Amino acid sequence: MLSQATKDIITSTVPVLEIYGERITTRFYERLFQNEPSMLDIFNQTNQRKGQQQTALAQAVYAAALHIEHIEDILPVVKQIGHKHRGLGVTPEHYPIIGENLLGAMKEVLGDGATDEIIGAWAQAYGVIADAFIGVEQDMYAQVATQTGGWEGFRPFIVVKKVQESDVITSFYIEPEDGGTVAVYEPGQYLTLKIDIPGLAHTQRRQYSLSDEPGKPYYRISVKREDAHDGWPEGIVSTYLHHHVQVGDTLHVAAPAGDFTLDVTTHHPIVFLSGGVGMTPLLSMVHSLLTYDPQHEVTYVHAAIHGGVHAFQTEMEELAIAHPSLQYYIVYEKPHEEDKQRAHFAQAGYIDLALLDARVPRDAEFYVCGPKPFMKSMVTSLQQLNVSSDHIHYEFFGPQGSLE
Ligand code: HEM
């Protein structure tokens, strides 16, 4: 238990830390990788370069500290991050390493402002937050290790099929090398890949959504090739998977994780809104829902730039033919002439308020996935249509952040 004095210090210093937040966490990562180079095998260096991870961790630590008296109030967030950590292989021994380097960075950036009292209070608070994460993650490790077809750590899988789904998205079908079964996952979950790329000093870990429905003897992940753009380098793992990983190759995979999932037993109509590769978890959900209840009322609206980069067109068209209760619409930002002739083409431009107003039932549960500007626009439009926020479920691609 933290004393009242400690809690008061935490509450009064959060605003100061927020001001220096990014400087502290940037310095934290520099120290971390210098003191513990093995951490370079765990953290995604591309996210580091984009500064996204710095912000995500800073926000999470300060947000948790503000709830220090009732840490249970933020359990949903702890669980969401816990899924990510569990997939990546974060273990209790890692927490003190993160804590020491974070406190060291605080001291360094705040200088004389960081009295022993303040650093002592934050050390205690970090301990409480870390314990909450460790507890949640230990339960998750136990659950995946004991479930049928589940496993601990990273298990070798063979690529049995590789399918190009669009100009930029390719699916990999993988089966366990040991010939065993695979754990049934919840639609919307993702896999973590641990991959050693020749010429790179550090192991890479990346998470990709499972795009098929659960219950098959294989897993399917669908990966967007991240080409270099606007000064950002190409995605090292996605381009390696696209160009070098072939049928017969081995991938090391952690058991499915993630809490952006669909309960297929729902009685509500379901609306799926996806942008680009954000389609992958929603595709797993729509398949699962219609397998469970072939007549379920479903609306699916997908946004892509044009037909060339629109994956799974045939798969979705077949699903719509097989299930008249599925209303399927495509919106292309910059359609080619032939794209406008496609079945289900609704309009050029974006998924806008008018389209949602005309096509989606209000009493639905909404599942939204895509890049941040897409999500922001969808959530804002749904709010304007008076959809209550507890009916809107969304997941970002890349590190979580706020919609602001
Ligand atoms: C991701 C918070 C401890 C490794 C994240 C994210 C948050 C977070 C908010 C982003 C989640 C998302 O994008 O959905 C925290 C907090 C911690 C903590 C508050 C301490 C209480 C750790 C530890 C490790 C770790 C001990 C182990 C080395 C990672 C990694 C990612 C991640 C590798 C993925 C992001 C990337 O590679 O860019 N964490 N974390 N975290 N965390 Fe933690």
Strand order in the sheet with 154-164: 204-209, 190-195, 250-257, 154-164, 169-176, 219-224
Active site residue 395: no
Active site residue 95: yes
Is pLDDT at 206 greater than 60 in this prediction? yes
Q: Residue 263 gets which letter from DSSP?
A: -
Is pLDDT at 404 greater than 50 in this prediction? no
Length of the chain: 404
- ipTM reported for the complex, 2 dp: 0.98
> Mean pLDDT throughout 199-227?
95
d(CA 375, CA 394): 8
Residue whose entry in the numeric block shows the structure tokens 């080619």 = 336
pTM for this model (two decimals): 0.93
d(CA 359, CA 346): 10
Per-residue pLDDT reduced to its tens digit, 360-397: 998 999 999 999 899 999 999 999 999 999 999 997 65
- 386: its two tokens: 């008076």
Is pLDDT at 51 greater than 70 in this prediction? no
Question: Who has greater pLDDT, 22 or 31?
Answer: 31
**Ligand 1 within 6 A of CB of 25:** no
- Could you tell me the distance, in angstroms and rounded to a whole number, from the CA of residue 88 to the centre of ligand 1? 9
Q: How confident is the model at residue 14 (pLDDT cuts 50, 70, 90)?
A: confident
- Cβ-Cβ contacts under 8 Å for 66 (sequence gap 6 or more): 10, 11, 14
Which residue among the candidates 20, 30, 36, 95 is catalytic per the annotation? 95
d(CA 31, CA 130): 19
- 10: its two tokens: 């935490």
Which residue among the candidates 137, 165, 175, 226 is catalytic per the annotation? 137
> Do residues 301 and 273 make contact, with C-beta atoms less than 8 angstroms apart?
yes
Give the mean pLDDT of the chain: 92
Q: What is the pLDDT of residue 68?
A: 83
Q: Which of 172, 144, 160 is nearest to 237 (CA)?
A: 172
Is pLDDT at 174 greater than 50 in this prediction? yes
Q: In terms of DSSP bridges, do strands 345-348 and 365-370 run parallel, antiparallel, or are they unpaired?
A: unpaired
Domains of the chain: 4-146 (1.10.490.10), 155-257 (2.40.30.10), 270-395 (3.40.50.80)
**Ligand 1 within 6 A of CB of 260:** no
Taking the CA of residue 88 as reference, the ligand 1 atom at the shortest distance is 33
d(CA 395, CA 401): 10
Is pLDDT at 227 greater than 90 in this prediction? no
> Do residues 17 and 24 make contact, with C-beta atoms less than 8 angstroms apart?
yes
**Ligand 1 within 6 A of CB of 63:** no
Q: What angle do CA 141, 146, 149 make, to 5 degrees?
A: 110
Q: What are the distances in angstroms from CA 17 to CA 96, 101, 108, 114, 278?
A: 20, 15, 12, 10, 34
Q: What is the pLDDT of residue 396?
A: 62
Per-residue pLDDT reduced to its tens digit, 235-252: 899 999 999 999 999 999
**Ligand 1 within 6 A of CB of 374:** no
> Do residues 293 and 122 make contact, with C-beta atoms less than 8 angstroms apart?
no
Partnered with residue 1 across adjacent β-strands are: none
Q: What are the distances in angstroms from CA 387 to CA 244, 266, 269, 378, 393?
A: 45, 17, 13, 11, 11
Q: How confident is the model at residue 47 (pLDDT cuts 50, 70, 90)?
A: low
Q: Which of 123, 210, 124, 202 is nearest to 173 (CA)?
A: 210
- 7: its two tokens: 């809690």
- Could you tell me the distance, in angstroms and rounded to a whole number, from the CA of residue 52 to the centre of ligand 1? 11
d(CA 395, CA 273): 11
Taking the CA of residue 77 as reference, the ligand 1 atom at the shortest distance is 9
Q: How confident is the model at residue 69 (pLDDT cuts 50, 70, 90)?
A: confident
